[in-house]
Structure 1
Amino acid sequence: MTNNRPSFFAGAEPNLLREQFPYDAPPLIVFDGADVPMNRPEDIFITDTTFRDGQQARTPYTVEQITALFDLLHRLSGPKGVIRQTEFFLYSEKDRQAVRACQEKGYTFPEITAWIRAVAKDFQLVKEMGIRETGILTSCSDYHIHLKLGMNREQAMDQYLSVVKSALAEGIRPRCHLEDVTRADVFGFVIPFVQQLVRLSEESGLPVKVRLCDTMGYGVSYPGAALPRSVPRLLHALRTETGIASAQLEWHGHNDFYKVLTNAATAWLYGCSGVNGTLLGFGERTGNTPIEGLLFEYMGLTGDTSVDTRIVTEIAEYFERELGYTVPPMTPFVGKSFNVTAAGIHADGVIKNEEIYNIFDTDKLLNRPLGVLVTDKAGTAGVAHWVNRQLGLVGEERVDKRSPGVQAMYGWVVCQYEDGRTTSLSDEELTVAARQYLPELFTKSR
């Protein structure tokens, strides 16, 4: 071994950072008052792990399903390749069939990459498939190095670097996945390791990428929060202490503490070019950053409107139709209720101007018109809105909430709930009621 390695590498006891991670209580968010400046890269983008991490939380996709979703990802990437890359397992013959089927499509975006463990036999698969970039699992917290791998830090670093060197020797870009980085000793292992990666990158002339994996969702975005949980401080330390370029940094988060999208956007703001996610947020345990959420966050940060966001709705419909997945109704952008109001006072505002209670033009951007859920809480305004939307009434044709027919129809709605009903009324039931109480709307030639 070289003599310039930190002395704690050999034989050191694991540092489990118990002052922040007591385990018998929720993890503590420690503040030390230090703050760092934002430094958003000029070029930010999204990467995808639907076919890798996303498959670890559901029934594996078939080859046909993978190719269909890959087509949708390609379309959602848009002309600028907002979704820059997607990664695949290579272990089974089915995995390799799916990769070959996607390779045959010849898309520039998303680029197909691989994921392997830091062992030589896995690396052979990457070479055989002709893939130019691969992720490599390089666990970096002592929880993983000592307790899972049974190594010390020096042994772990040597193993990781040997696989990186093998990739570089073959002209393949390595992407090191720093597993559990928000529970790692940043200056004791993460920084020295990334410094070695930067050195290898400079010597080889190939970019060595670093994926910062918030494996347990411990990351926080708060100003003044301490390492290793602070996303801003983590990005700042890596950039300033190692000199790694933003284009070589990528964030991969999990949603264990409901912070997955906020942490992802924070990573962009403090120096990460790439942020990793999955379609509909599928991923181990609480899931990964949803691609659809990242897309709208990206558009808000950059003003780039080159992507056809209506494809988001197509993706959600594909999951429900072909994969049998029921999207939770309150899910932003894709749930059935995300832009549906149930309160009568809200419906009254929608009738005056839908911008009052709609986050943006959901009809234009997602092919999802604003809706009103009709219950006894919807009021006459909710009934009028439903009638106008369902029958396509515009301008002077629109019915008013004060219409006798609308008031009578709302009286019928209230009666349904007085009899003990607890669910919302379906469009079919409401259409029958509208024919009864507003017959003139159905007898007119339209």
Structure 2
Amino acid sequence: MRVAAGRMPLLGHGPAMARDPMRFLRRLRDQGDVVTCCLGTVPVHQINSPELIRRVLVTDAHRFGRNRIFANARQLFGDGLATADEPVRMRQRRIMQPAFHRDRTDAYVDIMRTEIQRFVDRWRAGEVVVLDREVSRITLAVTAKALFRADLGSAAVGEVCRSLGPVLDGITKRAMLPAVYERIPTPGNRRFDAALRWFTTIVDDVTKAYRDSGADHGDLLSMLVASPMTDAEIRTQVLNILMAGTDTTAITLSWAFHELAVNPPVRRRMLAEIDTVLGGRPVTAADLPRLSYVDRVVAGTVRRHTPVWLLMRKALEPVRLGDVTIDAGAQVMISLPTLHRDPDLFPDPMRFDPDRPLDEQARTSALVPFGAGRHRCTGEAFAMAEMTTALVTVSRNWVPNPVPGHRVREVTRAFLRPDALPMTVYRRNTRNW
């Protein structure tokens, strides 16, 4: 067993991990395919080889389960796609997969475009927009609207957007802390509990209205109501969909706008493709396959700025990975940004280049931004369509530029995100960009 250098008595490698997680994980990558560190006194094995990562996530996935964080999260909001373990998750995936089929995703593009346009129509040329916050509001509104498309659900969209913020803010903290924490009446806990109760009431009321109407409104909730799920299970899935469909998409979009702003040749090429394909009209689902360079911009951003910075698994039985035997019950971790920034796999990895060659082997073994195997993101097609639609809808008329003197830093929270992204927005028909 290869143990990482720098272990402290009792604390292990915890201080180094807390001080700068990405630097610590990058150092582990450089020490071998499987490297053991200690978080406190608990040994955790980081897997760095693409082949071994694929075994954990795909070929030997049945030998690994979710770890304690997911168990805590399930206590908060039930067994959903983002939290459930097998076999519950596989049953739910089969039920929900039709909601993300191509024909359904294509129908969502009009909703995406309308909601995104509604936000950017409020912008004023030359004003500074905190783009990461704005994009977070946009992705939440888009996901909520895709869930509740019918008139009887439209009133719920605003309420869901208002109540979900405190819920999402508290989920990660609660999932990572001992269960006793949530019983302490702190202001944050009170806000979380009140927001979760209100969210539950809204979703239950709309679900009942959908059941009573008996109609298919062409939205995600209609698919859930038509499934064998109970109302409690539907409520859990709604929260899971909103949780999974907002932060990671918003973070990727924020980084995409940043990369376009600091790489003018890439932005000019993307704008030229948009103008050629659309000819001045709004984007539709039929246009997405033709926007190949926009797709590569999104793919390049996801590789360079993968939001999910740590995956944790627990070995359910002894497993041999490389030259290391992982004992049953041992913790395993995978850092996707560390993998995607490995210079042996992606030369000059910090360079943003949508034309970077990504052959089929790299796509399947070393590039896994949406996960892989049984835990691959069910809503991947939805997320890709939303990000492409957002980039095109904004870029048709607006050009966000960096605020002079502001340095964008990468911070490690629940996700790997920009600390703040203030940008000055200009109309494309001006000379100010």
Which TM class, normalised by the smaller chain length?
Answer: under 0.3
The structure with the largest alpha-carbon Rg is 1
Higher-helix-fraction structure:
2
Q: TM-score, normalised by structure 2?
A: 0.24
Bigger relative CO (Cα 8 Å, ≥ 6 apart)? 2
